[in-house]
Amino acid sequence: MADSSTSLQVDVWRGGEHGGYQTFQVPRRASQTVLDVVTHIQHHQDATLSYRFACRVGMCGSCAMQVNGIARWTCRTHVSKVCTNGRLQLAPLSNLPVIKDLVVNMDSFFDKMQAARGRFKGGHTRHEPVALVKPDSPARQKVEAGIECIGCGVCYSSCDVVSWRPEFLGPAALNRAWTLINDERDIDGRSRLAAVAGDAGCHSCHTQGSCTVRCPKHLSPTASIAGLKNMTARAARRGELDMETASGDL
């Protein structure tokens, strides 16, 4: 076996859902990221290796994959922080269908954003004055806490509830719904609240907090989901949840 101080043994998932690991020896370098390792393999050892990346600086999230069993952005993950005994294991994100190698199909992730009504719906036209939101208002502060999500899928891949119940909307979709419900310019809050109150919505969350622990942006989907649980419960007591309308509009 090669010296672990000068090389890395990298086990990379190859193929689709029923594929397997292939081992590569990669030179160890200073300040090396996991994305650097994957790129080296594709450029110098196997050009057929499939993976995603774009910005390389932690802005797009497209390079996310499992590193030693934990979902991470590979462009911001240094080998020195995660390497164990000169060895790395790289796999595609879990809870999503594998297309090939380290590439997953994100359709279900974004479909759930849609199911949670994760789109802004305003009541003003472009001909009206711009709506002003006080930055220090309580509602705006709740939005601020979760608005930086870029949809990388790390929280979704880390969620055990999604693994157990594939229909669960997941932390990213519910976090998005929470930010929109607290946006005073949005007029779709009532339907959105009903959309996330169903059997696959916020009340299915077990509050394990994996999404919050793994979020590269240091957001707390756990807190957002707790807010939705509280809000949907109060709306239900007041008789304000129109579940049939919400499901019919999706």
pLDDT per residue rounded down to tens, the chain (250 residues): 445 578 999 999 999 999 999 999 999 999 999 999 999 999 999 999 999 999 999 999 999 999 999 999 999 999 999 998 899 999 999 999 999 999 999 999 999 999 999 999 988 888 988 888 888 888 888 888 899 999 999 999 999 999 999 999 999 999 999 999 999 899 998 999 999 999 999 999 999 999 999 999 999 999 999 999 999 999 999 988 876 554 444 4
pLDDT of residue 240: 83
Among 234, 248, 233, 157, smallest CA distance to 202 is for: 233
Residue 199, phi then psi, degrees to nearest 5: -60, -30
Q: How far apart are CA 118 and CA 140, in angstroms?
A: 17
CB proximity list for 196: less than 8 A, separation 6 or greater: 116, 117, 169, 174, 177, 202, 228, 232
CA dist 51 to 12, 13, 64, 151, 184, Å?
A: 11, 11, 9, 17, 40
Q: How far apart are CA 24 and CA 144, in angstroms?
A: 43
**Location of structure tokens 């859902």:** 17
pLDDT of residue 244: 58
Q: Residue 134 class from Cβ within 10 Å (0-12 exposed, 13-18 middle, 19+ buried)? A: exposed
pLDDT of residue 131: 80
Q: How far apart are CA 102 and CA 66, in angstroms?
A: 9
Q: Residue 5 class from Cβ within 10 Å (0-12 exposed, 13-18 middle, 19+ buried)? A: exposed
- Helices 107-115 and 171-181, interaxial angle, to 10°? 30
Whether this prediction's pTM lies above 0.75 is answered by yes
